[in-house]
A = this chain, B = another copy of it.
Amino acid sequence: MEKTSRDPAMTDVARLAGVSHQTVSRVLNNHPNVREQTRLRVKAAIKELDYRPNRAARALVTGKTQLIGVVAQNSTLYGPASLLSAFEEAAGEAGFAVSVGRVKVLDRDSIAAAVERHRDQRVAGIVVIAPNSSAADALADVPAGVPLVTVDGDPDRPTPLVTVDQAMGAFEATKHLIDVGHETVWHVSGPADWFDAAGRVDGWRSALDATSAEVPPVVAADWSAASGYRAGQMLARMPEVTAVFCSNDHLALGVLRAMSERGKNVPHDVSVVGFDDVPEAAYFIPPLTTVRPDFAAVAHETLGLLLEQISDGETTRPRRTVAPTLVKRNSVAPPPR
């Protein structure tokens, strides 16, 4: 009962299977030149010993780790949090572990420090979730040579980037409202320095332009339900407002509440559309029509882009967008006549 006996190593497996450790290595790495019978013997030995390869040893000799570093804000916002989950899952499937470096604020110093920590870990690549401009600016400091993909970052920067097609989602949401008969659509926007918010403003505006609808002023808010509520209180007072597209579902929730307090019925008096499709959106009163970003797809694209850089050093098509889908529920109706 030797408690201290170390974990089995490759040589232990080799001895048990009656081969050399190198053959074990070949089996593990799926090299072609191993006889089927040998392969089976080795696999049996691996199973019997509950052998697991030592990643440190492998990393030492190959010079590569199976670790991906993610830099994300210390945030509980739905979008970033979902993205992170999805990415962890995708990376896990590809045999990579994910080391998360949270950052309190997305400023230059914090991001640089997080990136440094990851480089200390010798991660194979780094993903930065950089949804606003201060974060994007910080990326200028990241030394070249480290495979890096930005998610939700600055579309105008030349780094490899994956993002939800915000403009497209906003366009479809707005178009949908116009298609059911609204003359124009008002917009409650997220913080101006967030690319997501900016993209949604763009999409909204171009949908209005495309149909020559009048473009009302943007109602600026942050992402919170509270600010949506304040925006909604204002909009509820204006009889000409029949349709509102909100930059996220929480804002929409606030608008919904404000409308209901002022006796406006959604959707019959005012239609409301959100963005994100948070889990609760289907349980809002009324269930919210909203735009659903495909976080799993974003995660997969991100991982793909990163793995390309890791193996080739280069990458084709370094910018990828993922199309969101409009989820129709009960918060949209034709305008009152």
A15-23, A52-60, A128-136: which lies at the interface: A52-60
Q: Which residues of B contact A57 (CB under 8 A)?
A: 56, 60
Is A224 close to B, CB under 8 A?
yes
Residues of B within 8 A of A241 (CB): none
A269 to chain B, nearest CB (A): 18
Q: What is the oligomeric copy number? A: 2
Residues of B within 8 A of A82 (CB): 76
C-alpha gap A100/B68 in the complex (Å): 11
| Complexed CA–CA distance, A101 and B87 (Å) | 11
With beta carbons under 8 angstroms apart, the residue of B6, B54, B92, B225 that contacts A280 is B225
Which of B52, B102, B122, B280 is A88 in contact with, Cβ under 8 Å?
B102
Task: Answer yes or no: A213 CB below 8 A from chain B CBs.
Answer: no
A315 at the interface (CB under 8 A from B): no
Contact with B along A89-126 (1 / 0, CB 8 A): 10010000111111000000000000001011110000
Show 27 residue pairs from A and B whose CB-CB distance is below 8 angstroms, ordered by the A residue. A52-B119, A52-B122, A54-B60, A54-B122, A55-B120, A56-B59, A56-B65, A57-B60, A67-B97, A67-B99, A74-B85, A74-B89, A76-B82, A76-B279, A81-B81, A85-B102, A88-B102, A89-B102, A92-B101, A97-B99, A97-B117, A98-B100, A100-B100, A224-B280, A225-B280, A226-B280, A226-B283
